[in-house]
Amino acid sequence: MSDYFEDYLRIYEISNSINEQNIDTFPLKDLQMITILLKDIIQRQSIEIKELRKEIKTTKSLNSDINPLSITSFIAIDFETATYKRMACQLGIVKVENLQIVDEMIYLIQPPNNYYDSGCLNVHGINPSITKNSPTFRDLWPEIKHYFNDTPVVAHNAAFDIDVLKTNCTYYNLSLPELTTFCTCQIHNNLTLPDTCALYNIELRNHHDALEDARACAKIFIHHLKVINSLKSSKVKENSQARKEKNSAYFKPASRTISSEALKQDLSSVSNPDNYFYNKKVVITGVFETFPIREDLALKLKEMGADVCTSISKKTNIVIYGEGFGPAKMQKVTDLNSEGCNITLLDENELRKKLNLITL
């Protein structure tokens, strides 16, 4: 660990413990260092406010005019930065083809002069000693630039990551191809990455690790693409004669009904309350290969302590959706989550995992 980093941590700890009663006990040198630290924090906050304003102005232009229904391949990226001027110190890239993650890369990057602003150190834990032998962005660019050619680029808060990319390319006088970008933060009404992951039950173990964040972003966008493609597919099928025949064959209206008995929550009969659905308000929409009779699924959830409901509201915790789900219900979930609710969506595969019906 560098002397600079150790000195910063020592002064930071002192600044948190100082008060009017003990200020006279600290050496003048330490008090001067605390003053410098506070100036540094104020400067950082001022820069962050300016950048946030810039991002708000530019975010609307980030999402491409390309119809996302046509996208099956893309890269998701995440940068960690060493300085307030957005010089990169780590980059994660996740490559997706046919809506499947096929490759993952992570790179440590030595910022110019291996310099770090103090406020950035606390965010990701990367410091000068970690990147002292790493390539600069200029040295790394020949190895990674092909990922950005003719491929949509996705990031969570893309205004930040795309600006980091452009800033580093400009600093080293590197050419950057024209980018098609999508922002999963904007798509999800500016939810943070951890909150968006929680919405879809996506694991995020080490936030601010560039690969971990890029991987989470990729999974979020894959889920988003699958949902909107399912919405489109559902509308087409509902207008086709084949869909009507399929419904009449074994997706009969009666198979979608839920009895009043199944809708009565009964926590007293739950043998194991330590399960995912216990005391959660759950709405079922669509049809399922595993549970072709909706009543069977509702009774299974009731046995686990769920409060099965027929309509979505602000109190809903989980919406389980299958084939031919109601587009209006899915739109209501989107609207309520944008208003601050936290409704989780589960498809049939995720449902089977929660019910331990398949091997994880």
The dihedral region occupied by 49, where left means phi > 0, alpha psi between -120 and 50, and beta the remainder, is alpha
CATH code given to domain 68-226: 3.30.420.10
Q: CA nearest 211: which of 110, 119, 76, 83? A: 76
- Rounded CA-CA distance 347/148 in Å is 32
Kindly state the helix (H) or strand (E) to which residue 81 belongs, with its residue range. Answer: strand 74-81
Residue 93, strand partner residues: 77, 105
Q: Alpha helices of the chain — where are they, by DSSP H?
A: 3-17, 28-59, 118-124, 128-131, 137-144, 158-171, 184-187, 193-199, 210-238, 241-249, 294-303, 327-338, 348-354
Spatial contact of 146 and 87, defined as CB atoms under 8 Å apart: no
- Rounded CA-CA distance 359/351 in Å is 12
Residue 19 DSSP class: -
Domain boundaries, the chain: 3-59, 68-226, 247-354
Residue pointed to by tokens 């609307």: 60
Q: Where does residue 215 rank: exposed (0-12), middle (13-18), buried (19+ CB within 10 A)?
A: buried
CATH code given to domain 247-354: 3.40.50.10190
Whole-structure pTM value? 0.55
Give the number of other CB atoms < 10 A from CB of residue 171. Answer: 17
Q: What is the dihedral of CA 118, 124, 128, 131, to 10 degrees?
A: -150
- Rounded CA-CA distance 238/242 in Å is 9
Question: For each of the chain's 360 residues, which pLDDT tens digit applies?
Answer: 445 455 555 656 666 666 666 777 777 777 777 677 667 666 766 666 666 555 544 444 445 555 555 788 999 999 999 999 999 999 999 999 999 999 999 999 999 999 999 889 989 999 999 999 999 999 999 999 999 998 999 999 999 999 999 999 999 999 998 899 999 998 888 889 999 998 888 999 999 999 999 999 999 999 888 887 766 555 545 555 445 544 444 444 556 788 888 899 999 888 889 999 999 999 998 888 888 888 889 999 999 999 999 889 999 999 999 887 777 778 888 889 888 899 999 998 889 888 886 433
Residue positions counted in the chain: 360
